[in-house]
Amino acid sequence: MNNHTYKKIEIVGSSEVSSDDAVQNALGKAGKSVKNLRWFEVTETRGLIGDNGKVSYWQVTVKIGFTMED
């Protein structure tokens, strides 16, 4: 096993569909500018309650770990 050094960032993803979709949106966006993504951890989940009493919008705070290049 290689000795890796990791860096961790925190971002917020959002979605009108679901919390899982908000995570996927966050990871997809991060993957466009950060290389070597390895893991994620959801630290917060929030939602907006619509006029119908149901969730109309999701936000998730995600910590993402990635390996640093030499």
Residues 28, 10: Cα–Cα separation, whole Å: 14
Question: What is the domain extent for residue 19?
Answer: 6-67
Joined together, the tokens standing for residue 40 give 């994620």
Q: What is the mean pLDDT of residues 21-41?
A: 97
CATH number at residue 33: 3.30.1660.10
Which pLDDT score, from 0 to 100, does residue 26 have? 98
pLDDT higher than threshold 60 for residue 1: no
How do residues 32-61 score in pLDDT, each as one tens digit?
Answer: 999 999 999 999 999 999 999 999 999 999
Selection from 68, 63, 58, 67 nearest residue 15 by Cα:
58
The total of structural domains in the chain comes to 1
Which pLDDT score, from 0 to 100, does residue 3 have? 76
